[in-house]
Chain A
Amino acid sequence: QVTLKESGPVLVKPTETLTLTCTVSGFSLSNARMGVSWVRQPPGKALEWLAHIFSNDEKSYSTSLKSRLTISKDTSKSQVVLTMTNMDPVDTATYYCARIRFLDFVWFDPWGQGTLVTVSS
C-alpha cells in the first residue's frame, strides 16, 4: 500500500523559511518511474502545484514561486523535502505531497493527508 505523509511546522512567522517533509512508503524514491510532487491549497481556495522531483534528481518548479522553492530527496530515508523562503501570510495553506509518474506529471495518486501551515506573527 502506497502512503505519503507530510510533516512540518504548524505556524511560521513572516519572512521565515518553511521546511516540509514528505515521508513515503510502499514505493521507493529510487524507482525511475515514480516521483513526488507538492501541491498547496489556501483555505477555501483552489489547488496550486508547487514542485516535483524524480529519482534521477530531475526537478521542476512553479514558475511563479521558483525563486522561493527548493525540493530535494533523501532516498535512504524515503523522504522528500520542500523549502519555501520568505514566507508571507498569503502562503497560509494546506500543503500536500503526492506520488506522480514519470512523463505523467499531473497523475497525482495517492495524496498525503496534508499539513496546514499558518503564516502569522
Chain B
Amino acid sequence: QSVLTQPPSASGTPGQRVTISCSGSSSNIGSNYVYWYQQLPGTAPKLLIYRNNQRPSGVPDRFSGSKSGTSASLAISGLRSEDESDYYCAAWDDGLSGPVFGGGTKLTVL
C-alpha cells in the first residue's frame, strides 16, 4: 500500500487532455513539494515535473503539474501515443523522514 494514492489507470485518445491525481496527507503533499516521474515500458523513471509545477528542460509544455492542499495533479494536453507510460507522483514525508511514492498510474492512449 503506497503512502500517496493514484488511480491505477487512465486513458485518453490522441489530442485529448488527461489528468492524473495524487492524494496524500498533511505530512507529505500538504507541506512539501510534489514531483512527477514518467516511466516508459522497460526503462528507468525520468523526472517530469519538480517542485509542484516546474518542468526540466526538454520536457514538453504539454505536461503540467499543480497542487492544492493535500492533493496534486499531472495534466497532459495534446495526448500523443508516446505518452503511453507509467506515471508516479512523489513527495517528502515529514513523519517518515523520507521520500514516498504513489502506486503509479498506467496511461493508455487509445
Give residues in A with beta carbon < 8 Å to B: 37, 39, 46-49, 60-63, 96, 104-114
Cα-based distance from A61 to B45 in the complex (angstroms)? 21
CB distance A105 to B44 under 8 Å?
Answer: no
Task: Looking at the assembled complex, report how far the CB atom of A111 sits from the nearest CB atom of chain B, in whole angstroms.
Answer: 4
CB distance A48 to B97 under 8 Å?
Answer: no
Residues of B within 8 A of A111 (CB): 44-46
Contact of B44 among A48, A63, A107, A113 (CB under 8 A): A113
Residues of B within 8 A of A49 (CB): 98-101
| B68 interfacial contact with A, CB 8 Å | no
Contact of B98 among A46, A62, A114 (CB under 8 A): A62
Residues of A within 8 A of B98 (CB): 49, 60-63, 105
Residues of B within 8 A of A107 (CB): 35, 47, 50-51
CB distance B88 to A47 under 8 Å?
Answer: yes
| B102 interfacial contact with A, CB 8 Å | yes
Q: How large, as a class, is the contact surface on chain B?
A: 20 to 34
Residues of B within 8 A of A104 (CB): 33, 50-51
Contact of A105 among B45, B51, B99 (CB under 8 A): B99
Residues of A within 8 A of B104 (CB): 46-47
Give residues in B with beta carbon < 8 Å to A: 2, 32-33, 35, 37, 43-47, 50-51, 56, 88, 90-92, 96-104
Residues of B within 8 A of A47 (CB): 37, 45, 88, 90, 101, 104
Cα-based distance from A109 to B38 in the complex (angstroms)? 12
Cα-based distance from A111 to B51 in the complex (angstroms)? 18
Interface centre among B51, B88, B99, B102 (most CB of A within 10 A): B99
Task: Contacts A47-B88, A47-B104, A114-B44 given; indicate if A106 touches B2 (C-beta within 8 A).
Answer: no
Cα-based distance from A112 to B45 in the complex (angstroms)? 9
